[in-house]
Amino acid sequence: MRFLFTRPTSTVSRIKAALFLTIITGTSLCLYIYTCVPGEAAKFPECVPSRIYSSSLPTTGRSEPKYGHPSLDYHKNYTRNKFTVVMPTHNRNLQLLTVIGHYCNISNVHKILVLWNNVGEPVPGPIKDFKCQVPVKIKIMKENKLTSRFRPYPEIETEVIFSVDDDRMVDPHGMEKGFAAWQAFPHLLVGHCPRPHSFQDSQYKYCGKRDPHYYSMILTDTLPEALHTFKDKNMNGEDIIMNATVADYLKELDGPQCSGLFVNSSTDEIHIKPNRASLWQREDHVKKRNDCLNLIVSVYGYMPLMSCELQ
């Protein structure tokens, strides 16, 4: 899950590249990001996180960025006191009812926007007519893409977005802490699931296991074409790309710094047993994550991600 960005108001072409998971099609970058993927760590070998890191919290920019996006106060017509839940869904109809019901009862939710990725299939009545104390909008998607959650939909009326998968229910206290962290640092990706990367044998590698001291990304359109093609073709890496793009963007504001802020929740996320295999369970998941990191270096000419010291 992620608390996302301030509501984008221009096309991605106004951003050099949008990478927590993916590719923004808009401007101001402020995300609250994901729940951890259960079992993912078991798929990765041990790796030593990169020790090129920043121990200080990022600051808001003082100079004009090269991206040319509107300042945060540009979004004065949108509320900052509540957030929009953006939830892509694909072939999880029964679970979806349970998950929507969970977020209906979370404080500070302004609206729930369900992205219906079952292309060509009608929305079942129980989902379409679901009763909730906040508005639930079902948006029919023309394509099933990972990056659908990052589009600047007109239904979004809040500066911040809580982006969550259709099989994850985050405890209310953890969400409250994450939202408060975003309000304090609205220019960052904010989330509960930190991951480091490493540099071994002249190659960058994604570390699926959490390091006790360091992280370099928080597990969430004019991306460079190579990255745009990679995430659509492989259905992977959109979160890593988002972190790298935010890190590159922040570097232009105040120098190299962390792309995200980790929020340590005192309670674990509630996981629903999936009724189908998830993308992270595929055999080539690890290889694609590694390939994505090295492609980022090739495209940007350097590694934007920096290891951040857990505090």
pLDDT of residue 168: 81
What is the chain's mean pLDDT, rounded? 67
pLDDT of residue 35: 36
Considering the entire predicted model, what is its pTM?
0.62
Domain ranges of the chain: 2-309
Residue 95 confidence class, pLDDT cut points 50, 70, 90: confident
CATH number of 2-309: 3.90.550.10
pLDDT of residue 59: 38
pLDDT of residue 122: 95
d(CA 91, CA 292): 27
Residues 246-275: tens digit of each pLDDT: 787 777 666 666 766 666 553 444 555 555
Which whole number is the average pLDDT over 182-207? Answer: 64
Instruction: Please check the confidence at residue 38 and state whether its pLDDT lies above 60.
Output: no
Instruction: Please check the confidence at residue 83 and state whether its pLDDT lies above 50.
Output: yes
Residues 126-156: tens digit of each pLDDT: 999 999 999 999 999 999 887 788 788 899 9
Q: Which of 179, 138, 162 is nearest to 86 (CA)?
A: 162
d(CA 146, CA 166): 12
Which whole number is the average pLDDT over 11-28? Answer: 27
